[in-house]
Structure 1
Amino acid sequence: MLKLSGVIITFNEERNIERCLQSLKTIVDEIVVVDSFSTDQTKAICSRYNVTFIEQEFLGYIEQKNFALQQAKYNHVVSLDGDEALSKTLQKSIVNLKTNWIFDGYYANRFNNFCGQWIKHSDWYPNKKLRVFDRRKAEWQGINPHDHVEMRDKTIKTGHLKGDILHRTYQTYSEFNKKTEYFSTIAAKAYLDKGKKAPLWKLIWNPSWAFFKAYFLRLGFLDGYNGYVICKGTAKITYLKYSKLRQLYKKV
């Protein structure tokens, strides 16, 4: 029977990590947690479970997750963030893979909880994620902080699993606003490193299009007030990313 490693990165996830571990503990053969020196109870909570707990200074989202993959004992992995957990249906789907692994990677829909509400529209659902895969054939890529798993060979076929990755994202509006500022700063620096430009038209067009697409085309308005807040936040982070990039170029 195929063996699986559960791989998680954490930093101050005392609110969510137990839910994550509970969803993994009966379906994987080991759990590896790579923690960026949490200052809350994350380490203490993990110590109650049979996990390999590794403390590693934060390398960047993509780099940290690829580091975590290399710590796994087995090549077939389930990769999660500390604020994610597997639904019961997804747990069953992954267990079935242990005797019927066909593809080299498997997608699942991510279902996001925002301020206590499960968000069913905009860009947030179905939020398809490749999280079950053969680590020899895939890795984390993207532009920080927007990471994603990508198969190294574009011709490799992937499957899709039933069930959801349950993502307990921002639970207060202030948390959402703080992370918008934080992530836009990281993105601007990453864009600068890659030589991306920030012409004035992108400062106007990209945020406007981001809001229109999420709120109207992808039906974000059906999620009520929180749907509006999310779509507005999508536009805001897009604006801040390019605004901060323009400021960085003035300093170089």
Structure 2
Amino acid sequence: MKKHTLSAIIITKNEEDRIERCLQSLTGVVDEIIILDSGSTDATVTICEKYTNNIEHTDWPGFGKQKQRALAKAKGDWVLSIDADEALDDEMKDSILELLHSNAIDKTAFKLPWGVTLYGKTLKYGRSARSVLRLFQRNGASYTPDEVHETVIPAEGKVGELNGYLLHFTHRDYGHGLDKSAQYAWLGAQKYHRKGRRSGGLFLALVRAMWTFFHIYILRLGFMDGSVGFIMAMTYAQVNFNKYVGLWLLENGRS
């Protein structure tokens, strides 16, 4: 029998085309699923109701604050933060279940290898070759209030890493990828402006973009992912450029 309980927290809005894949991957792994929906107008909530009755309709205060709201509702010993466009692969399910059956866990949080999957390919290099902290003890954990790229602050202790992949189906199609990148760049610019960070000017924005491409495509071996690796390196470079241009415009009152 499981020695530890697990809550999954998910924030949603108009995710009818991919939320079920996420929820199906949690079946048999988690003890409760908590959904915070910020105004879906499609079938997202109806699909979620097949898996949980713990659904709350909310406004949209930003990613960090919304995930903190979801975390506050969790009752499990451990919490899995998963996005609607993500899913656990079979090996990751087994890793989590093995952990929950352990008598004692000597870590307070775990990173999950991220399997970014788009345009028919799961990327293994570049910026995608990283692990994200998504599984953590509920007690003592909290989220930063950032508008985007929020961070979970786990309870003090050691952080481990599990086997398997947290699959991330990040883009529905190329157009959706462009829209998402633009949104994240602007939110990032606003976050930096709120925190008093300076842009350094437009030329430095260009240099940052060039460095981002070099770092992802060359230093982190993004070229090993073929044509999709090239597309992603260029996408991240463009996002970084747009973010610092947005910050420069905010600094100069031209937004």
TM-score (norm 2): 0.93
Structure with the higher strand share, 1 or 2: 1
**Mapping of residues 146-161 of structure 1, within 5 Å:** 146-153=149-156, 156-161=157-162
Aligned match of 1:110? 114
Equivalent of 1:141, from 144, 151, 157?
144
Give the CA deviation at 1:142. Answer: 7.5
Amino acid at match of 1:199: G
Aligned match of 1:176? 177
Aligned match of 1:48? 50
Contact (CA 8 Å) 2:127, 2:220: kept in 1 or not?
A: yes
Amino acid at match of 1:92: D
Distance (whole Å) between structure 1 residues aligned to residue 70 and residue 52 of structure 2: 17
Aligned match of 1:197? 198
Query: Percent identity at matched positions?
Result: 34
RMSD: 1.5
Give the aligned length: 249
TM-score (norm 1): 0.94
Aligned match of 1:123? 127
Q: Deviations over 1:121-155 (max 9, x none)?
A: 11112x201111112232223743212323253xx
Aligned match of 1:38? 40
SS in 1 for 2:150: strand
Distance (whole Å) between structure 2 residues aligned to residue 212 and residue 152 of structure 1: 35
Distance (whole Å) between structure 1 residues aligned to residue 163 and residue 53 of structure 2: 26
Contact (CA 8 Å) 2:137, 2:155: kept in 1 or not?
A: no
Distance (whole Å) between structure 1 residues aligned to residue 122 and residue 101 of structure 2: 32
Amino acid at match of 1:169: T
Distance (whole Å) between structure 2 residues aligned to residue 40 and residue 77 of structure 1: 27
Give the CA deviation at 1:72. Answer: 1.1
Equivalent of 1:132, from 126, 132, 135?
135
Q: Unaligned regions of 5+ residues in structure 2, if any?
A: none
Q: Unaligned regions of 5+ residues in structure 1, if any?
A: none
